[in-house]
């Protein structure tokens, strides 16, 4: 990131590029108002010198030759009471690529520079308007794939995770106070540490961290979606099932074996959760190199999936080919047996599924759309019994791999301190160092302890203009 100390003025388009009713160019920095004054003209073509805060003004943006670019509404927000904590100007013009880009080019000519991805949010963080978890939540809210993932991101944006992390940090800081006292009074170190119940407090801190870590699996599924692989031999109805779940004709359906020769991935939302449906190539002995590559990819997706829909043609029964495919599924706990073509009459039903060691089974007709709702319910039940409960109360959900990693690191530091206590305190200085490591890891989550490189990694994932 350039300009870590926010010395210059930045600008970018704040709306999606393309056709639209409104386009917004955002400017942030000490020169924002000055730039606006150079470009804005009233309806009567007059230069405007005074702008009241947080009030919309109607007029025109002109180029350097005084020629109108577009009629606009503009608003000025004085720092620090703005998103970035700096003076901010927004120019609301008609949407469309040409007009919005022309306004941005004029802003850049007047002294601003083009913002880097996430730089507006980074400035909000550096100026103390939000912490790092809230900054990341903004990006997650923008990229939310479902209503549920948006709710989780919004809860983090409101500061729920930050509050939890700071509570744990404060608890460890109080604990460290006893250890520091033992350093200052070495002749009483054991008594001070025992009186402060340091060991019990460390175990409690570990428990609090583990409670957060337990939510990561659900959080990841909410954020990224449940990976659902549809597998089976050719012509059992995999593409028909994908189309039925999507409620549209996405995959080609024919009676010719091997029609699907590559992996097709689509997303659909059910009960607020995004399901990432993966239609795989029919698993069989490949007849050519292209089909073989498709089957290899299918087997890879099979291992990566959170849920495997093992599809069979129930009208033909359970064949040797079906049994061979089932043998390639290592974890049968994540398998739902889907018995298709019930409209043709079934030779194999869900009552026969118990003999295969599969707990979940559903009978469907992908062609007629029968049993699809029940199948979708089984998918969500398999990975999360009550998805609404995850965001229904005060529970904080971890969705970021970065957060999970730092929590694990903090937990390990605390466990190391506990092992030091259990083996007999040789020096409370070592104990204090372990606690400091834990505090540092937790501090990195909220951005109280971090580096410029970390800023680059996090904020570069944002779109320009946010």
pLDDT in tens, 169-207: 999 988 888 777 766 555 555 565 665 678 888 999 999
**Where do the domains of the chain lie?**
10-130, 147-215+396-447, 228-386
pLDDT in tens, 139-173: 888 888 777 888 888 888 888 999 999 999 999 98
Q: 304: closest CA among 283, 334, 270?
A: 334
Q: What one-character DSSP code corresponds to residue 306?
A: S
Higher pLDDT among residues 223 and 311, named by residue: 311
Sequence-ordered list of residues with C-beta below 8 angstroms from that of 252, at least 6 positions apart, any chain: 239, 259, 260
Positive/negative CA dihedral, 221, 222, 223, 226: positive
Q: Tell me the C-alpha distance between 59 and 39, whole Å.
A: 10
Q: Between the CA of residue 19 and those of 15, 95, 464, what are the distances in Å?
A: 10, 6, 18
**What pLDDT was estimated at residue 391?**
52
Q: Which CATH architecture has domain 228-386?
A: 3-Layer(aba) Sandwich (3.40)
Q: What SS3 class is residue 157?
A: helix
Higher pLDDT among residues 139 and 90, named by residue: 90
Lowest mean pLDDT of 231-245, 285-299, 384-398, name the range: 285-299
**What pLDDT was estimated at residue 392?**
53
Q: According to the per-residue pLDDT averaged within each range, which of 49-63, 115-129, 394-408 is highest?
A: 49-63
Q: 365: closest CA among 375, 355, 378, 356?
A: 375
- Residue-by-residue DSSP string for 1-68: ---TT--S-EEEE-S-SSS-SEEEEEEESTTHHHHHHHHEE-TTS-B-----TT--EEEEEE-TTS-E
Q: Tell me the C-alpha distance between 229 and 245, whole Å.
A: 13
**What pLDDT was estimated at residue 1?**
44
Higher pLDDT among residues 141 and 110, named by residue: 110
Q: Which CATH superfamily is domain 10-130 in?
A: Probable tRNA modification gtpase trme; domain 1 (3.30.1360.120)
Q: What one-character DSSP code corresponds to residue 277?
A: E
Q: Are the C-beta atoms of residues 231 and 260 closer than 8 Å to each other? A: no
**What pLDDT was estimated at residue 182?**
62
Label the pairing between strands 264-270 and 40-41: unpaired
Gyration radius of the chain's alpha carbons: 29
**What pLDDT was estimated at residue 284?**
44
**What pLDDT was estimated at residue 37?**
95
Q: What one-character DSSP code corresponds to residue 281?
A: P
Burial class (CB in 10 A: 0-12, 13-18, 19+), 387: buried
Q: Which two tokens stand for residue 84?
A: 């970035």
If you average pLDDT over residues 442-446, what whole number do you get? 92
- Tell whether the model's pLDDT for residue 260 goes beyond 50: no
Q: 142: closest CA among 126, 160, 156?
A: 156
Q: What one-character DSSP code corresponds to residue 333?
A: G
pLDDT band at 19; cut points 50, 70, 90: confident
**What pLDDT was estimated at residue 458?**
61
If you average pLDDT over residues 426-431, what whole number do you get? 73
Q: Tell me the C-alpha distance between 376 and 369, whole Å.
A: 12
Q: Tell me the C-alpha distance between 47 and 407, whole Å.
A: 55
**What pLDDT was estimated at residue 385?**
47
Q: Tell me the C-alpha distance between 248 and 241, whole Å.
A: 10
- Chain mean pLDDT for the chain: 82
- Which 3-state string (H, E, C) describes 309-326? EEEEECCCCCCHHHHHHH
Lowest mean pLDDT of 52-56, 422-426, 453-457, name the range: 453-457
Higher pLDDT among residues 182 and 113, named by residue: 113
- CATH fold match for the domains 147-215+396-447 and 228-386: no
pTM of the model: 0.74
pLDDT in tens, 340-399: 999 899 899 998 887 888 889 999 998 888 998 899 888 888 876 455 555 555 578 898
CATH number corresponding to 147-215+396-447? 1.20.120.430
- Tell whether the model's pLDDT for residue 433 goes beyond 80: yes
- Tell whether the model's pLDDT for residue 94 goes beyond 80: yes
**Percent of the chain scoring above 90 in pLDDT:** 36
């Amino acid at each position: 990131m350039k300009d870590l100390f926010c010395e210059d003025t930045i600008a970018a388009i704040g709306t999606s590029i393309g056709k639209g009713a409104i386009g917004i160019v955002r400017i942030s920095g000490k020169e924002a108002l000055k730039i606006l004054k150079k470009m804005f003209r009233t309806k009567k073509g007059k230069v405007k010198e005074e702008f009241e805060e947080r009030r919309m003004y109607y007029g025109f943006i002109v180029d350097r030759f005084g020629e109108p670019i577009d009629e606009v509404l503009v608003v000025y927000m004085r720092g620090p009471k703005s998103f970035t904590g700096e003076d901010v100007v927004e120019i609301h013009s008609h949407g469309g690529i040409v007009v919005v880009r022309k306004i941005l080019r004029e802003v850049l000519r007047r002294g601003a520079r083009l913002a880097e991805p996430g730089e507006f949010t980074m400035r909000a963080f550096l100026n103390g308007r939000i912490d790092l978890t809230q900054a990341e939540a903004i990006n997650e809210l923008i990229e939310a794939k479902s209503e549920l993932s948006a709710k989780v991101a919004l809860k983090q944006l409101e500061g729920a995770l930050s509050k939890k992390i700071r509570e744990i940090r404060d608890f460890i800081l109080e604990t460290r106070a006893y250890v520091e006292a033992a350093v200052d009074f070495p002749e009483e170190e054991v008594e001070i540490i025992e009186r402060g119940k340091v060991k019990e407090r460390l175990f409690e801190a570990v428990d609090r961290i583990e409670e957060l870590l337990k939510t990561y699996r659900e959080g990841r599924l909410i954020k990224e979606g449940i990976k659902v692989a549809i597998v089976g031999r050719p012509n059992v109805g995999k593409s028909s099932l994908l189309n039925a779940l999507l409620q549209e004709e996405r995959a080609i359906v024919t009676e010719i074996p091997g029609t699907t020769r590559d992996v097709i991935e689509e997303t659909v939302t059910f009960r607020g959760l995004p399901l990432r449906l993966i239609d795989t190539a029919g698993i069989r002995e490949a007849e050519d190199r292209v089909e073989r590559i498709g089957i290899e990819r299918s087997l890879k997706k099979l291992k990566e999936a959170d849920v495997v829909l093992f599809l069979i043609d129930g009208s033909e029964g359970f064949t040797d080919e079906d049994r061979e495919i089932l043998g390639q599924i290592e974890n049968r706990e994540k398998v739902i047996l889907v018995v298709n073509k019930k409209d043709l009459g079934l030779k194999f039903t869900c009552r026969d599924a118990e003999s295969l060691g599969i707990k979940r089974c559903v009978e469907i007709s992908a062609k007629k759309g029968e049993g699809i709702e029940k199948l979708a319910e089984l998918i969500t039940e398999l990975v999360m019994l009550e998805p609404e409960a995850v965001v229904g109360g005060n529970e904080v959900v971890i969705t970021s791999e970065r957060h999970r990693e730092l929590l694990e690191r903090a937990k390990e530091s605390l466990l190391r301190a506990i092992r030091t206590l259990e083996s007999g305190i040789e020096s409370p200085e070592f104990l204090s160092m372990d606690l400091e490591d834990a505090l540092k890891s937790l501090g990195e989550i909220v951005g109280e302890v971090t580096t410029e490189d970390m800023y680059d990694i996090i904020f570069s994932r944002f779109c320009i203009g946010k």
